[in-house]
Structure 1
Amino acid sequence: MKRKIIYFAMLIGILACSDDFTDLPQIGAFEEEFLQTEEGANLFLASAYSMLTGRSNLSVGDSRMRSGDNWFHDVLGGDAHKGSTDNDLSSLLRLELGEWDPSNEQLPRKWATLYAGVNRSNAAINAALAGGLIQVEAQARFIRAIYYIELTKMWGNVSVVSEENFAALEFNQPNSGPAWAVIESDLQFAIANLPTRVNQPDAGRPSTEVAMAFLGKAQLYQSNYTGALASFNSVINSGAYSLNANYLDNFRLEGENGPESIFAIQFLADGGASFNANPSTLNFPRGGGPFTCCGFYQPSQDLVNAYQTDAAGLPLLDTYNQPGNDVTNDHLLASSDAFTPHTGPLDPRLDYTVSRRGYDFNGFGIHTGQDWIRAQDSDISGPYISKKNIHQAGDGNVSPVNNRNNGVNYNMMRYADLLLMAAEAEIEAGSLENAFDYVNLVRMRAKNGEKLQADGVDAANYVVEPYTTAFADQAFARKAVRFERRIELGMEGHRFFDLARWGVSKEVLDAYYENEGRTIPNFGSKVAPFDEAHVVFPIPTAAIDLSEGNLTQNPGY
């Protein structure tokens, strides 16, 4: 009988039967000769890609904190509230309120998802090595690097499970530190062996430029500004990417995989349960259009305030959140109560990011206020609804089962993100002038692109302009670039990690907790001051227990 290779895609080898801890994909037996073909190796590769969604055969509903779009990290970074009522998914509420317990049920689910991705990548790497399939190996190593980037961003000290460990079933590895060395090695291999973008015909698969972009991100997270700048410049100078003419194109089906998309999770809806659809099924309004559930992921007043501009169209870098300067909101008002929306100048990106009372909600009608909000007055969710994760009315690729499973991709990185990361690197290791130019490229798109309309005219008082005076010094340049990242990338899962790598989490989030109380009066009394240990997450208790001493808890937990 021919020898068979058994494929086990297991979570770090520390196995449990409960899907509260890990999702176990199908265990299959394959002939060795088949695995050494491109078709066989690509089966493993497809399995590795699939975990980017945060879903698997055992997580068929919403993915909550598993989700590949990292929506819940916006809650932890001050851009959003959990949403819905406070007692709905209290495990998520506890994280928002600063109660970070290693036994919180959400943490092992994300841990399991990411390590399942690592080990599925390892399976693909081993199959590629056996068959001499360099292209498959390069893709699998790129995907493995993505999972390790996410693990390192979240937990800092992580276990590295190599393809050799995987083949030997040696999954129980210590968490001895960040995985940056492995990440960079995988990305360098991908850069050397993947095709360029013009020669990569398949949307959703990486190219040389994609791998270089993520290498720059990994270098930026390590404060290797010179290396990051070289990597970002390589991508910029390649001409492979450009900004979409319209901001909204990044978040609607017709704009998917366009010139701005560097690497996106490819979501797909079908006629059934749509297990490959965008998993943000909780994050729809309670009312409006065809939606009846579920009211999670509500943008914060703090984020909304950040979109204010002065008469010259520039952001209020230092004053956007001062008392008396809030964007007008309808919190605690009934939908039948009179309400006049904000009349001051605003950046138009606001109304493609946040749904406010009185404005169109993705073509599904006018947001009428409290009738569209699931939360009650005593809850800490606020009056706003997220928009970027929700399809536009009339889009195809939406499941008929609940009208929420949709095929809207999530851009793990888009060109505006890269330009602003390049601006950061320029500030620290290059030219303030180049940083100025990159910020203005992003702002010019906001100025010249389409804006939300009402009866054929701009729906609000949109005023946005590029900077006209050069950045005076590093301090001002940092402030301008960091602020631009927030308003360009709001509600895209980046904010919490940006604050952590800048070393400003406590300063920014403690101010947020205080200021948000002006809109949500009981918010400040419920949330705890930011604990500086919380720049990384606690290692899940279940993982530590099952590791038999190989995993060490992060400091402060």
Structure 2
Amino acid sequence: MKKLIIASVFAAGGLMVTSCNSDLLDLNNPNTLVAQTAWNTQKDIENGLTGCYHTLYNCFYNSFNTFLISGQSDEFYSQSPDADLVDYIMLKYNNPDQRWNYYAWCYLYQTVFRCNQVIVYAEDVEWSSEVDKGKVVGQARALRGMSYYYLAMLWKKAPIVDWISAPSDQPAEATFEELVSFIEKDFLYAAENLPESFPEVGRMNKYFAYTFLGKLYMNSGQWEKAKAAFEVVITSGKYELAAEYHDNFRHTTNNNVESIWEIQNSDEVHSPFGGYWGIANDDAECNFTSWRERFISGSPYGFGDYAVYSWVIDMYKDEKDKDGNYDIRLRDNIVYPDLFKDFPGDIVYMTHTAWDATNWGNNAWCRKYSTDYYRDNVDGYSPINTRILRYGELLLSYAECLIEVGGASAIPEAAKYIDMIRERVNLYPLAKSVHKDCLNSLDAFEKRLRIEREKEICFEYDRFFDLRRWGLGTDTKYTNEVKARSSKHAANFTPGKEWLPIPLSEVSNNPNLTQNEGY
């Protein structure tokens, strides 16, 4: 799959970014009349699909998804020298066209544009079989569905474009509900037409579609449907928890038994810093890797743009494992002042066996997805694949569905899935733990489930959406709980900021698009 994606991109007009400001679109198009010269055969459509996968290496997936999802959550605060980044991470949003916000929107629409080419032109060529056509179109619709999932979950509303768009188009605004319906159709098509697996790793398959369907339904309040979608994946028997928790975040265990789908990163293509922006329009070589570690790690290895709130550390220390030690996920996820005391013998970046106060101060830093287990520096690349969907997160999502559908009567069954996660890290099952009382009431169990979820998937690609699902901005009690542990929310959060501001240039250039409330 790496060879498939890293191959030259099919010249399908796909470098155009639809729904972006006029400055970016005022360019000479090297692919003029491409529809008349390059979309005539099944092979052309298949090559176009390669161009769709290529967009996984634009900067939304190699770093911006961290800025927008984890960065907007209660996990991180920022003391970066980059004033724009601080403004964004600390929820101030003085400039809706701030580059993280603006480019993320544009790059998601870049994927939509390329996928639309494959989906539309696939109807005009002769196929070897309907099955082969379904596989190609199914992957394009899965990619388009994922792009719209992030557009919907980040910005609440956005134009639905299911045609081959032109820069002058001014598509109508779609509500969150309309977006959910559109995304659902894409994932259902993919689920029905994609196989269980492909010979090449990295392609989207049937279980990718069902897992994203479950997440879509869960985050739109359709719990029965979410439960059913997750059950398809669980009962397939295709996935299981990896032996070690950290196996999910190391390059030596990419594509392991827990991986439902991950972006295939490479350490073979090293490009300068500009390459992390990820598209050739930006006058830089594309970087087929992730820049997440460079932004999120402490100095001198990273830029130190994100520091971890202390409550995340404290969360892990609410119990010891069966051997009397702290939860190993604390060590695997965070570099913090007491790390070497809590986990004697640990080594960070192959050199640090004690806290580096000169560089790290008294802050805590993200360790998840760090390369510090095998090298002593941070280059402008990481060979660790980006795990977008993994079985551990799905099990916790399924447990949440169970209690949302079945209430208190579903607690025993839901606890089984939480205990599977706890067993891997040598914790007692809930019934034998210091938290056993959580099994006695729905409210207590729900709170425990949320903690167990954060322990397992902190700093991944869900927390911002989790907070909103649980009531941030709409439930006063829960919103105050978030403010109590996150000073940036206490200082800067107001109802409406559970969604991001739509880039101002998009609103200005499209009279059919309106800004979100509160901005």
Q: TM-score if structure 1 supplies the norm length? A: 0.77
Match of 1:282 among 292, 295, 306: 295
Structure-1 residue corresponding to 2:313 = 304
Distance 1:492 1:8, change over 3 A: closer
How much has 1:54 moved relative to structure 2? Answer: 3.3
Structure-2 residue corresponding to 1:530 = 493
What are the equivalent positions in structure 2 for 1:123-272 lying under 5 Å apart? 123-131=117-125, 132=127, 133-162=133-162, 164=163, 166=164, 171-178=169-176, 179-197=179-197, 200-272=198-270
Q: Per-residue CA shift, 1:46-73, capped at 9, x if unaligned? A: 2222223333xxxxxxx7x973542443
C-alpha distance in structure 1 between counterparts of 2:357 and 2:441, whole Å: 45
Answering whether residue 442 of structure 2 is matched by residue 474 of structure 1, we say: yes
Question: Do the aligned partners of 1:355 and 1:385 also contact (CA within 8 Å) in 2?
Answer: yes
- Equivalences, count: 468
C-alpha distance in structure 1 between counterparts of 2:414 and 2:195, whole Å: 29
Structure-1 residue corresponding to 2:357 = 370
Answering whether residue 103 of structure 2 is matched by residue 109 of structure 1, we say: yes
Q: Per-residue CA shift, 1:13-69, capped at 9, x if unaligned? A: 4542349xx9999646547575343432233222222223333xxxxxxx7x97354
Q: Structure 1 residues 507-516 or 127-136, which shifts more? A: 507-516
Question: Do the aligned partners of 1:126 and 1:167 also contact (CA within 8 Å) in 2?
Answer: no
Question: Do the aligned partners of 1:356 and 1:383 also contact (CA within 8 Å) in 2?
Answer: yes
Structure-1 residue corresponding to 2:516 = 554
**For residue 372 of structure 1, what is the amino acid of its counterpart?**
N
Higher helix proportion, which one? 2
Distance 1:476 1:36, change over 3 A: farther
C-alpha distance in structure 2 between counterparts of 1:18 and 1:11, whole Å: 8
How much has 1:361 moved relative to structure 2? Answer: 1.8
**For residue 277 of structure 1, what is the amino acid of its counterpart?**
T
What are the equivalent positions in structure 2 for 1:374-453 lying under 5 Å apart? 383-394=363-374, 403-430=379-406, 431-447=410-426
**For residue 494 of structure 2, what is the amino acid of its counterpart?**
D
**Identity over aligned residues, as a percent?**
24
Say which SS state the counterpart of residue 316 (structure 2) adopts. coil
C-alpha distance in structure 2 between counterparts of 1:108 and 1:33, whole Å: 33
Match of 2:46 among 42, 45, 55: 42
C-alpha distance in structure 1 between counterparts of 2:237 and 2:191, whole Å: 16
Structure-2 residue corresponding to 1:352 = 332
Answering whether residue 519 of structure 2 is matched by residue 543 of structure 1, we say: no
**For residue 278 of structure 1, what is the amino acid of its counterpart?**
S
C-alpha distance in structure 1 between counterparts of 2:243 and 2:20, whole Å: 48
Distance 1:8 1:258, change over 3 A: closer
How much has 1:261 moved relative to structure 2? Answer: 0.8
Question: Do the aligned partners of 1:355 and 1:367 also contact (CA within 8 Å) in 2?
Answer: no
C-alpha distance in structure 1 between counterparts of 2:477 and 2:62, whole Å: 28
C-alpha distance in structure 1 between counterparts of 2:139 and 2:269, whole Å: 30
Structure-1 residue corresponding to 2:277 = none
Q: Structure 1 residues 468-477 or 227-236, which shifts more? A: 468-477
How much has 1:356 moved relative to structure 2? Answer: 2.4
How much has 1:204 moved relative to structure 2? Answer: 1.1
C-alpha distance in structure 2 between counterparts of 1:27 and 1:300, whole Å: 48
How much has 1:406 moved relative to structure 2? Answer: 1.2
How much has 1:411 moved relative to structure 2? Answer: 1.0
Q: Per-residue CA shift, 1:322-369, capped at 9, x if unaligned? A: xxxxxxxxxxxxxxxxxxxxxx95321011000124342254533532
Distance 1:236 1:364, change over 3 A: farther
Answering whether residue 21 of structure 2 is matched by residue 11 of structure 1, we say: no
What are the equivalent positions in structure 2 for 1:453-464 lying under 5 Å apart? 464=427
Distance 1:171 1:445, change over 3 A: farther
Answering whether residue 465 of structure 2 is matched by residue 497 of structure 1, we say: yes
C-alpha distance in structure 1 between counterparts of 2:347 and 2:415, whole Å: 33
**For residue 429 of structure 2, what is the amino acid of its counterpart?**
P
Question: Do the aligned partners of 1:266 and 1:410 also contact (CA within 8 Å) in 2?
Answer: yes
Say which SS state the counterpart of residue 512 (structure 2) adopts. coil
Question: Do the aligned partners of 2:190 and 2:206 also contact (CA within 8 Å) in 1?
Answer: yes
Structure-2 residue corresponding to 1:78 = 74
Match of 2:83 among 90, 102, 124: 90
User: Structure 1: 5+ residue runs without aligned partners?
Assistant: 56-62, 315-343, 376-381, 448-463, 517-522
C-alpha distance in structure 2 between counterparts of 1:175 and 1:23, whole Å: 26
Distance 1:24 1:204, change over 3 A: farther
Question: Do the aligned partners of 1:129 and 1:137 also contact (CA within 8 Å) in 2?
Answer: no
How much has 1:486 moved relative to structure 2? Answer: 0.6
Structure-2 residue corresponding to 1:465 = 428
C-alpha distance in structure 2 between counterparts of 1:434 and 1:260, whole Å: 21
How much has 1:256 moved relative to structure 2? Answer: 0.8
How much has 1:186 moved relative to structure 2? Answer: 0.5
Q: CA RMSD in A?
A: 3.0
Q: TM-score if structure 2 supplies the norm length? A: 0.82
Question: Do the aligned partners of 1:12 and 1:172 also contact (CA within 8 Å) in 2?
Answer: no
How much has 1:267 moved relative to structure 2? Answer: 1.5
Question: Do the aligned partners of 1:252 and 1:408 also contact (CA within 8 Å) in 2?
Answer: yes
How much has 1:115 moved relative to structure 2? Answer: 1.0
Question: Do the aligned partners of 1:267 and 1:277 also contact (CA within 8 Å) in 2?
Answer: yes
Question: Do the aligned partners of 1:180 and 1:218 also contact (CA within 8 Å) in 2?
Answer: yes
User: Structure 2: 5+ residue runs without aligned partners?
Assistant: 1-10, 128-132, 272-285, 341-345
C-alpha distance in structure 2 between counterparts of 1:26 and 1:531, whole Å: 45
Say which SS state the counterpart of residue 412 (structure 1) adopts. strand
C-alpha distance in structure 2 between counterparts of 1:182 and 1:23, whole Å: 31
User: Any runs of at least 4 consecutive aligned residues in structure 1 with deviations exceeding 6 A, and if so which?
Assistant: 22-26
C-alpha distance in structure 2 between counterparts of 1:355 and 1:23, whole Å: 45
C-alpha distance in structure 1 between counterparts of 2:354 and 2:71, whole Å: 22
C-alpha distance in structure 1 between counterparts of 2:28 and 2:479, whole Å: 37
Q: Per-residue CA shift, 1:273-312, capped at 9, x if unaligned? A: 171111223223323xxx3x41222222111111112357
C-alpha distance in structure 2 between counterparts of 1:277 and 1:230, whole Å: 34
